Structures are given as structure tokens and as C-alpha cells.
Amino acid sequence: MSDTRAGRLGVGVIGAGRVGTVLASALAGAGHALVGVTAVSDESRERAEALLPGVPVLTIPEVVERSELVLIAIPDAELPDLVSGLAATGTWRPGQIVAHTAPGYGIAVLEPAQRAGSIPLAIHPAMSFTGTSLDLTRLAETYFAVTAPAPVLPIGQALVVEMGGEPVVIDEADRAAYAEAIDTARSFSRSIVEQASGILHGIGVDQPGAYLSSLVRSAVDDALSAER
């Protein structure tokens, strides 16, 4: 599954959404081998073909069976049932790295896989994804929340660095608060921009999003600089 270079892994991706495909592409760029991806909808298949050309589209059990590193990038609500369901069928393997990207979960949700001997990692990039190659450049300025058992924490941190990001350790007990902060920043930013765009559109300004772009970016940069 892995190639002959030290530290290179056979990576399988569960979920060909915006996050999973971009992170998988970044891992491939770091030299890891992509062994399979799951993609159900036409949109996800098209995204996989665009960002992960040549990577076979497989079922979830097939992806897990072939992978040394399983990257799970699915909606948060689906994660517990997926992990426990695969554990019930004996799919997880000893020594296999299992990493998810859900902001609200740490490694406790991966306990069924850990019981089978898998290595649990929670790795969340604090970034809004487009699901295109543009995201690969943006990873270079993105922080990742990493939660893992202490002995394997360096594995999660190393994977983040390989993807171009900056790892930040978040304790298991703090994942809920972390997720709240991420959701607040995302939803507040979106709602404010939509409100302002609506007002400008109402007074006849064409392309209000483009009009606000420089203002919003500079205002956010100023606010973030004040917090450093």
C-alpha cells in the first residue's frame, strides 16, 4: 500500500466533499499514495475526478481495507454511526491511522476503531473550502486543530505540516468550545456579508459582493491583527 520511501502512507478518503478532496490532494503532493476515495453524488464524483485524477472510487469498506491512513471527511452528524458501524463488521485494523476532520469531535468518537488497534487522530483545518485547487494555496496560511493521544500526537502534527498547515493542539475536553468558536466566526461572517450585500443591492449597486470584497477582507485582517 505505501511506497518505498520512509513515512509514506497509502491514504484512503471517506467523503469526496470540499474538505476531503483538498486535503487528500495536499497529502498526495507530500508524496503519500492515494489508494481510493468514496464518492456517492455526481458532484462528488466530478470533484474527485478534478482534484484526485486516477484515484479509484471505491466503497467505504474497500477504502478502509486498502488504507494505512483513513481520512474521514463527512458531516459531523454522520461520523459516530460510520465509525461504530465499521467496527461492528470488523473492518478497522491494528496499526491503521484513522483521522477525521469534524471540528466538534475529538478522538472519543473514534474509540470503536481504537479498540480494534487503530490510531485515532482528530484534525480540523480552520478554513472555508471551495473544493477547488485554489484551496491548496490557502492551506499554507491555515491553522489545524489537532487532538490525539500523547504518544501519537506527533503523527497528527506531521501530517498537518506536510499539508502545508500549522498544527495547534486542542485538548479533547475543549473540542466543543473550539467547534463553537469556528461556527461563530463562519456564520457571523457570512450573515454580515449577506446583510450588507442585500442593502447595497437594494440601492442599485451592481455586484455588491465584489464591492464589499476589499472592505471586508481588510476589516477582518485589522480585527485579527488586533488579537495577535
The CATH number that domain 10-170 falls under is: 3.40.50.720
User: Do 160 and 167 form a contact (C-beta atoms < 8 A)?
Assistant: yes
Rounded Cα distance, 101 and 114, in Å: 17
88-132 pLDDT, tens digit per residue, is 999 999 999 999 999 999 999 999 999 999 999 999 999 999 999
Whole-model pTM? 0.86
Stretch (H or E) spanning 190: helix 175-202
- Grid coordinates representing 46? 466530478
Average pLDDT, the chain: 92
pLDDT value, residue 38: 98
For the cut 80, the answer to whether the pLDDT of residue 226 exceeds it is no
13-35 pLDDT, tens digit per residue, is 999 999 999 999 999 999 999 99
Residue scoring higher pLDDT (142 or 189): 142
pLDDT value, residue 77: 95
| Count of Cβ atoms closer than 10 Å to residue 64 Cβ | 24
For the cut 50, the answer to whether the pLDDT of residue 6 exceeds it is no
205-218 pLDDT, tens digit per residue, is 988 888 887 877 77
Q: Name the pLDDT band for 175 (thresholds 50, 70, 90).
A: very high
User: Could you write out the DSSP letters of every residue in 35-54?
Assistant: EEE---SHHHHHHHHHHSTT
Residue scoring higher pLDDT (187 or 223): 187
Burial of residue 224, with CB atoms counted within 10 A of its CB: 0-12 exposed, 13-18 middle, 19 or more buried: exposed
Percent of the chain with pLDDT over 90: 77
pLDDT value, residue 191: 84
What is the CB-side half-sphere exposure of residue 47 using CA atoms within 13 A? 25
Residue type, 36: G
User: Do 71 and 21 form a contact (C-beta atoms < 8 A)?
Assistant: no
Rounded Cα distance, 46 and 54, in Å: 12
pLDDT value, residue 2: 40
Rounded Cα distance, 195 and 209, in Å: 11
Domain boundaries, the chain: 10-170, 177-226
